[in-house]
Structure 1
Amino acid sequence: MIDPISDMLTRIRNATRAGHPEVVVPFSKFKKKIAEIMKKKGFVEKVSESTEKERNFLKIGLKYSQDEKGGKGSYIQGLQRVSRQGQRIYVGKNRIPVIRSGYGFAIISTSRGLMTDSEARRTGLGGEIICEVW
């Protein structure tokens, strides 16, 4: 696996499109922090660690809404990796983008750790844009 963050985002995207209740990804502290930010913003239901055969995994419970016709729709409409290993994208505190007119958010890696775009604006920090969620 070349880029573990892209792999995690792809697994979440595929699981939401297939309607799965949860997705399992290999564990890392960075991935756990990304998932916890998504939970705090209300895009995923739960985040937990599990161990199987001496390997650690991260279980992410996906959140769905019921529509009037009885169907279910995911709270996550889209995920996009912005900064990649081959092309890092950094923004200053004054150039932090607004995602989908405020309906989405960006996860930014700053000198004070991972935070959402609104938290980075509030604290006056720029950093590397990891991904966008809407």
Structure 2
Amino acid sequence: MYTDPIADYLTRVRNAYLAGHRVVEVPASKVKKAITEILFDQGYILSYKFEDNNTQGVIKIALKYNPVTNESVIKKLQRVSTPGLRQYVGVEDLPRVLNGLGIAIVSTSKGVMTSKQAKREKVGGEVICHVY
């Protein structure tokens, strides 16, 4: 039983790219699937696959590396809001990560999205993590 499954997801991905692995498997949930789709759409991961082999299911993520230097595309993956201290922001206070070069993933009333999308939709929410 994990107290923070999103932090576990981010830690598994972080450990995999720091160790140089090509594929990482994480237990599935709706929020984790939404975060994975955002990472794919923004170009931080190569591909993903949802497998429902048991009650919970598994997400297989293929990590993306620079072909020349063999470095991971993800430089930092940082959890912002935790179960002990939730970080909620309004639409006017949505964060910009690395002056717009990174993304902030936000859980809003309209679903999980990047902070840029949330600003376009004019909704605030809970800041889940920063990726760059």
Equivalent pairs, count: 131
Q: What is the aligned-residue identity percentage?
A: 46
Matched, 1:79 2:77: yes
2:29/2:56 contact within 8 Å kept: no
| CA-based RMSD | 1.2
1:96-119 per-residue CA deviation (whole Å, 9 max, x = no partner) reads 111011110000011100010100
Aligned to 1:12, the other structure's residue is in SS state helix
Aligned to 1:39, the other structure's residue is in SS state helix
2:103 aligned partner: 105
1:100/1:24 CA distance change after superposition, 3 Å: same
User: Following superposition of structure 1 onto structure 2, how do residues 49-128 of structure 1 map, counting pairs within 5 Å?
Assistant: 49-52=50-53, 56-67=57-68, 71-128=69-126
Q: Quick one: which amino acid aligns to residue 46 of structure 2?
A: E
Matched, 1:8 2:9: yes
What TM-score comes out, normalization by structure 1 length?
Answer: 0.93
1:39 aligned partner: 40
Runs of 5+ consecutive residues of structure 1 not aligned to the other structure: none
What TM-score comes out, normalization by structure 2 length?
Answer: 0.94
The offset of 1:55, in angstroms, is 5.1
1:45/1:95 CA distance change after superposition, 3 Å: same
Aligned to 1:60, the other structure's residue is in SS state strand
Runs of 5+ consecutive residues of structure 2 not aligned to the other structure: none
Name the structure where strand makes up a greater proportion of residues.
Answer: 1
1:54/1:117 CA distance change after superposition, 3 Å: closer
The offset of 1:22, in angstroms, is 0.9
